[in-house]
């Protein structure tokens, strides 16, 4: 998704912006651009393609200490040089970069065209440049250097905009300032020594400063090299103390790994240790999740739980819902946040809602939260990014502390979310009828997970071999039952995202209701056979597939399955609640190695973005 990085200070802006753009690459994009102020003159360079393509067209040295840079992920208008950001006004005096979507673009565009403005791109974002220029023209009587003139012009335009924006504006007549604004699309300020940064993602600036201020919706910040002033859409000043960034610079480096994806898979044992740290009350055989802000009486009063998220976060929520329902015996389900928000959902006072998000910025999840809160419901966040929009709007919840996840696909945060839900299940279950002995058994199994996962990851030769086999196919099915179905869903999503093999997940029992028609030698099935009461039923499903000549690779916790002709991957025994976590590890690695085998850009799959901040 689009990325913003901006700088004003005393150092050379170009390397700072370019480095920031490289850091934002993981979010997914199709074009890149930069605008700089050099001797009070605006220079814009932009191109379709990668940041490396932008570097190739830049002059060798540009002496500028103020600049804005952007990576674009096409929404309005195809990836093209003209549609890349920054966009300028007709006089080429001001440049803007924009993340988000202007919903009333059609009317605004028509107004501009009616007034004789010639538009240079198909984007909605370009409208900002012309509208701000018009507002400034109206104020031409006022002394140009007046403090806040550019901010006022931006504010007036924002009041006409419907939609979402993370915006940065640069103007050659205002060389000592940079304006940024936020509505529904993240923006963080970085406070340096005689320099200020702004970015859509802290990863773009964390090398330079750890002191940040997260803008809230409806806020505009005027940055100069010596400070910042935040106002709202009514021009009222907001005071804000900087916060310390919790992510470390190393998290954005690949270390000795070839890809972030592999690095993050390898980090999982350590991540799970962090998820557990300080959160288990061994004495009472329960979990201690203070961030949820739920008293024992609150816990007891919850009659139903609903978990919301998108993509992998939704799948993690579905597995989490099964954990809670089976252990705590509270009705619990998960729903796609994008579907939920538009169905005019019934919100009940004794239902507790969880919003799951790695980035904490997913637009649809945010919208679902707003819908719940507007109707008086209580929603808690299960979020990785500290200080993100979702974390802040929920106000309470549990941080995953998985560290920055740079690869587009979620791996370590998915597994961390599952463990978090296992703890939430334990917490609820121990206020109901789960015995201390049963609670202790689960806690013991949780403590064993990091070691078990490490052993699996360190010994991944078999996974590579299976990945090689799968990489030769264009289609694959994943099947499982109950929690095993959740694993199948995530396994299929991982495989299709990174290797572009068409992969679909089905509850095993659904096979004969349709998908069996497509089973053939050309379509292998990965069967998740957990060591539960459904094991035998899963074995029957494998028989059905074999009878139609379909190949089967089984992920199993028990004995070898002779009918699985493509082989068996053994997963260690654990508490049944935690089995999905272990069953998923081989599937992550198989997806990774299949992508490598097929020569795919595993860290940045085509068309995908790390943080989906538009609808």
Burial grade of 141 (CB within 10 A; 0-12, 13-18, 19 or more): exposed
Residue 260 and residue 26 in contact, taking contact as beta carbons nearer than 8 Å? yes
> Residues with Cβ < 8 Å from 452, sequence gap 6 or more?
572, 574, 582
Count the helices and strands in the chain (H runs, E runs): 18, 27
Q: Closest separation between CB of residue 493 and ligand F6R, Å?
A: 6
Q: Which is nearer to ligand F6R, 135 or 497 (CB)?
A: 497
User: How far apart are alpha carbons 258 and 239 in whole angstroms?
Assistant: 44
Binder of ligand F6R out of 83, 125, 365, 588 (CB under 6 A): 365
What is the contact mask toward ligand F6R in residues 557 to 586, using x (rule: CB under 6 A)? Answer: ------------------------------
**Could you give the 3-state DSSP secondary structure of residue 456?**
helix
CA dihedral (172, 58, 605, 583) positive or negative: negative
**Binding to ligand F6R by residue 357, rule CB under 6 A?**
yes
Residue 188 and residue 168 in contact, taking contact as beta carbons nearer than 8 Å? no
**Binding to ligand F6R by residue 380, rule CB under 6 A?**
no
Binder of ligand F6R out of 231, 318, 410, 574 (CB under 6 A): 410
Binder of ligand F6R out of 312, 336, 431, 523 (CB under 6 A): 312
Binder of ligand F6R out of 204, 415, 612, 614 (CB under 6 A): 612
What is the contact mask toward ligand F6R in residues 484 to 523, using x (rule: CB under 6 A)? Answer: ---------x---x--------------------------
User: How far apart are alpha carbons 163 and 131 in whole angstroms?
Assistant: 15
For this structure, is 2 an active site residue? Answer: yes
User: How far apart are alpha carbons 478 and 497 in whole angstroms?
Assistant: 14
**Could you give the 3-state DSSP secondary structure of residue 436?**
helix
CA dihedral (49, 50, 53, 58) positive or negative: positive
Q: Which is nearer to ligand F6R, 152 or 490 (CB)?
A: 490
Give the pair of three-digit tokens for residue 443. Answer: 């806690």
Binder of ligand F6R out of 83, 362, 525, 557 (CB under 6 A): 362
| Cα distances (angstroms) measured from residue 72 to each of 83, 225, 310, 604 | 9, 26, 22, 14
Give the pair of three-digit tokens for residue 128. Answer: 């900002």
CA dihedral (84, 86, 89, 91) positive or negative: negative
Q: Closest separation between CB of residue 17 and ligand F6R, Å?
A: 25
Q: Which is nearer to ligand F6R, 370 or 559 (CB)?
A: 370
How many of the other CB atoms lie within 10 Å of CB of 113? 12
In this chain, which stretch among 161-169, 238-246, 357-365, 366-374 interacts with ligand F6R, using CB under 6 A? 357-365
Residue 335 and residue 304 in contact, taking contact as beta carbons nearer than 8 Å? no
Q: Which residue carries 């997913």 as its tokens? A: 362
For this structure, is 610 an active site residue? Answer: yes
List the catalytic residue out of 225, 306, 496, 610: 610
Q: Which is nearer to ligand F6R, 88 or 588 (CB)?
A: 588
What is the contact mask toward ligand F6R in residues 108 to 127, using x (rule: CB under 6 A)? Answer: --------------------
Q: Closest separation between CB of residue 338 and ligand F6R, Å?
A: 10
Residues comprising the chain, all counted? 615
Closest CA to 579 of 533, 614, 544: 533
Q: Closest separation between CB of residue 489 and ligand F6R, Å?
A: 11
Q: Closest separation between CB of residue 409 and ligand F6R, Å?
A: 4
User: How far apart are alpha carbons 334 and 324 in whole angstroms?
Assistant: 11
Binder of ligand F6R out of 21, 310, 372, 527 (CB under 6 A): 310
Looking only at residues 27 through 56 of this chain, which bind ligand F6R when binding is defined by CB under 6 A? none
Q: Closest separation between CB of residue 42 and ligand F6R, Å?
A: 35
| Strand ordering across the sheet containing 66-72 | 41-48, 31-38, 66-72, 3-8, 196-199, 188-191, 211-214, 243-244
In this chain, which stretch among 273-281, 354-362, 455-463, 593-601 interacts with ligand F6R, using CB under 6 A? 354-362
Residue nearest to ligand F6R (CB): 311
Q: Which is nearer to ligand F6R, 209 or 357 (CB)?
A: 357
In this chain, which stretch among 165-173, 355-363, 446-454, 455-463 interacts with ligand F6R, using CB under 6 A? 355-363
Binding site for ligand F6R (CB under 6 A): 310-313, 357-359, 362, 365, 409-410, 493, 497, 611-612
Which residues are part of the catalytic machinery? 2, 610
């Amino acid at each position: 998704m689009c990325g913003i990085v901006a700088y004003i200070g005393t150092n050379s802006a170009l390397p700072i912006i370019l480095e920031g753009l490289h850091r934002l690459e993981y979010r997914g994009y199709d074009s890149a651009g930069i605008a700089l102020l050099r001797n009070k003159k605006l220079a814009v360079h932009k191109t379709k393609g990668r940041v490396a393509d932008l570097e190739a067209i830049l002059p060798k040295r540009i002496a500028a200490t103020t600049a804005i840079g952007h990576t674009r992920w096409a929404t309005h208008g195809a990836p093209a040089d003209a549609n890349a950001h920054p966009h300028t006004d007709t006089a080429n005096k001001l440049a803007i970069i924009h993340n988000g979507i202007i919903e009333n673009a059609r009317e605004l565009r028509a107004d501009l065209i009616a007034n004789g403005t010639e538009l240079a791109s198909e984007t909605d974002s370009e409208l900002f440049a012309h509208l701000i220029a018009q507002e400034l023209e109206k104020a031409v009587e006022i002394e140009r250097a007046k403090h806040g003139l550019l901010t006022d012009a931006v504010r007036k335009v924002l009041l006409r905009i419907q939609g979402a924006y993370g915006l940065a504006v640069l103007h050659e007549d205002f060389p000592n300032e940079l304006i940024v604004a936020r509505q529904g699309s993240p923006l963080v300020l970085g406070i340096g020594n005689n320099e200020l940064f702004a970015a859509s993602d802290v990863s773009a600036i964390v090398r330079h400063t750890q002191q940040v201020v997260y803008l809230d919706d409806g806020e505009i910040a005027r940055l100069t090299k010596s400070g910042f002033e935040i106002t709202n859409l009514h021009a009222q000043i907001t005071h804000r103390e900087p916060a310390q960034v919790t992510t470390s610079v190393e998290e954005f480096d690949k270390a000795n790994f070839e890809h972030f994806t592999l690095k993050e898979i390898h980090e999982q044992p350590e991540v799970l240790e962090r998820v557990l740290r300080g959160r288990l009350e061994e004495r009472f055989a329960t979990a201690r999740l203070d961030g949820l802000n739920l008293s024992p009486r609150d816990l007891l009063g919850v009659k139903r739980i609903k978990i919301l998220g998108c993509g992998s976060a939704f799948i993690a929520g579905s597995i989490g819902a099964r954990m809670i329902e089976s252990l705590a015996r509270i009705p619990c389900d998960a729903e796609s946040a994008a579907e939920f928000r538009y169905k005019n959902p019934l919100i009940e006072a004794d239902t507790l809602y969880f919003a799951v998000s790695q980035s904490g910025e997913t637009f649809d999840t945010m919208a679902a939260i707003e819908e719940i809160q507007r109707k008086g419901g209580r929603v808690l966040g299960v979020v990785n990014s500290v200080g993100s929009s979702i974390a802040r709007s929920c106000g309470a919840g549990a941080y995953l502390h998985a560290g920055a996840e740079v690869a587009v696909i979620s791996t370590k945060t998915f597994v961390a979310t599952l463990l978090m839900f296992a703890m939430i299940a334990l917490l609820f279950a121990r206020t109901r009828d789960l015995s201390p002995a049963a609670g202790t058994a689960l806690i013991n199994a949780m403590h064993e997970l990091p070691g078990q996962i490490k052993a699996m990851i360190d010994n991944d030769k078999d996974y590579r071999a299976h990945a090689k086999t799968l990489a030769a196919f264009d289609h694959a099915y994943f099947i499982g039952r109950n929690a095993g179905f959740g694993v199948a869903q995530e396994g299929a999503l991982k495989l299709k995202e990174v290797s572009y093999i068409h992969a679909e997940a089905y509850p095993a029992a659904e096979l004969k209701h349709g998908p069996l028609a497509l089973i053939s030698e050309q379509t292998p099935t990965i069967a998740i056979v957990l060591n539960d009461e459904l094991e035998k039923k899963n074995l029957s499903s494998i028989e059905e597939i074999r009878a139609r000549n379909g190949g089967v690779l089984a992920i199993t916790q028990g004995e070898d399955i002779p009918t699985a002709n493509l082989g068996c991957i053994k997963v260690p025994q654990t508490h049944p609640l935690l089995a999905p976590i272990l069953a998923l590890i081989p599937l992550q690695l198989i997806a990774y190695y299949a992508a490598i085998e097929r020569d795919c850009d595993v860290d940045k799959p085509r068309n995908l973005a790390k943080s989906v901040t538009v609808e």
